[in-house]
Structure formats: C-alpha cells, structure tokens
C-alpha cells in the first residue's frame, strides 16, 4: 500500500527531512521534500543495523542530505536505538542540522490513523523481546499514556484497537488495525507535538551490561 505522504506536500513540513529508524527488527529510512516522500527503504533485517544503517542513508538521493533529521528513539531494542540515535547525531553534526526524536509508538499510530480515519485512539503493542510487550495508547492528537512493559497475558482488553507488531505475540486471531513495525515512511503524518522530542533513546528496559562504579575503599 503506498504511503499517503507520497501524493503531495505538507505545508507544515517545508524543506528536506531525513528519517532514520532502527528501534525494531526493521531498518527504516525515508527522505522527504516539503513533506512529500521522495525515497524510502523499510525492510526487516533482524540484528544487522550496525552494518546497514549508514549504507541505507548513503543510498538515498544526495546521500540523504537534509535540513533536519528525525530519529526513532524507541522504546525498543537497546542496541538498535543506540545505533540509530548515534548515526543521526553524527550526521547532524557533520551537516550542521538539527536532530529530533520521534517515538516508535507514534509512527505505528500514524499508520493506523491513516488506514482507519476517524479513530480516536489506538493501543500500540511493540515487541520488547524476552517474550514481553510494550503497550502504549496514543490518541488521535498524539497525546499518549505511559509505556507499560508487560507479558502477553497481562495485556488484557483495550477500548482502543490494537496496532503494531507486538500484536503477533497475543492470542492468534486478535484483531488489529495493522501489525507492522515502526516505519519512517509515515513521518510526515506526525503533528508538531509528536516530532519535537530530544534525540535520546527510550529503552524497553535497563541495559544488561552496566559500567562498573568506582571501587570502594
């Protein structure tokens, strides 16, 4: 299904914008001109983000050069988010352009709202690994409640329809608007409030490896 943003410009998105997403098993890169999607790559690669993200950006028109960069800050995979944020920050410094964060849940919600216009809210489920899910309800104005880390049997019913790849961990047949990963192709659907976060990672859980503290006397 083509992205709605490919059909015309968005007046609130002047200039060229690069989106980088590595918080999930997907590698997602997109380049926009005045809100119009001009180049896009979104594919499932598993754990290969470290080797794939820079070549993916370099393969975009003008090697992805943009007036601003937006990066998926999660929550999601510790390694994936860290790589995406680091790449976005490095490009921002090299190009002298601002870098902003967008949440993985807002990207999933943007696709859901485009697929089913009129929804008041959607409950996004992201695969957190280790058999767990991240749950967050996002309203149509992109206000959101707190993220919850849950086992699949703790999710329970939702007044809003489900969306996101985490739905696949629920009981087979659970209905959802869509079950895709966060996709930067929907970046231009986000309002201002959903695209002004700091480019700082939101992890699903604390990292497994923590730097040792100072030795006690």
pLDDT one-digit tens code per residue, 97-124: 999 999 999 999 999 999 999 999 999 9
Give Dmax over CA atoms of the chain in angstroms: 65
- What is the reported pTM? 0.89
Rounded mean pLDDT of 25-49? 94
The Cα-based distances of 60 to 3, 94, 185, 191, 208 in angstroms read 17, 17, 13, 24, 34
Which residues contact residue 142 at a Cβ distance below 8 angstroms, ignoring those fewer than 6 apart? 106, 109, 190, 191, 193, 194
Rounded mean pLDDT of 182-204? 92
Question: Model confidence over 120-151: pLDDT tens digits?
Answer: 999 999 998 888 999 999 999 999 999 999 99
Domain span(s) for CATH 3.30.420.40 in the chain? 8-103+182-194
Q: 121 vs 203, which has greater pLDDT?
A: 121
Q: What is the pLDDT of residue 76?
A: 85
Token match 């992805």: residue? 64
8-103+182-194 has which CATH code? 3.30.420.40
Query: What is the SS3 assignment for 8?
Result: coil
pLDDT interval class at 209 (50, 70, 90): very low
């Amino acid at each position: 299904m083509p992205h709605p943003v490919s059909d015309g410009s968005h007046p609130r998105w002047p200039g060229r914008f690069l989106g980088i997403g590595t918080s999930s098993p997907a590698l997602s890169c997109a380049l926009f001109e005045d809100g119009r999607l001009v180049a896009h790559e979104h594919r499932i690669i598993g754990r290969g983000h470290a080797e794939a993200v820079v070549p993916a950006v370099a393969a975009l028109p003008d090697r992805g050069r943009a007036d601003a960069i937006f990066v998926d800050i999660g929550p999601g995979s510790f390694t994936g988010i860290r790589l995406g944020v680091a790449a976005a920050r490095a490009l921002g410094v090299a190009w002298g352009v601002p870098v902003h964060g967008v949440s993985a849940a807002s990207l999933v919600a943007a696709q859901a709202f485009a697929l089913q216009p009129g929804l008041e809210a959607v409950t996004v489920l992201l695969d957190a690994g280790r058999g767990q899910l991240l749950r967050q309800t996002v309203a149509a104005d992109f206000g959101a409640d707190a993220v919850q880390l849950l086992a699949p049997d703790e999710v329970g019913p939702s007044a809003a329809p489900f969306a996101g790849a985490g739905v696949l961990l629920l009981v087979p047949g659970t209905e959802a608007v869509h079950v895709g990963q966060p996709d930067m192709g929907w970046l231009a659907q986000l309002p201002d409030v959903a695209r002004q976060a700091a480019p700082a990672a939101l992890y699903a859980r604390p990292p497994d490896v923590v730097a040792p503290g100072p030795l006690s006397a």
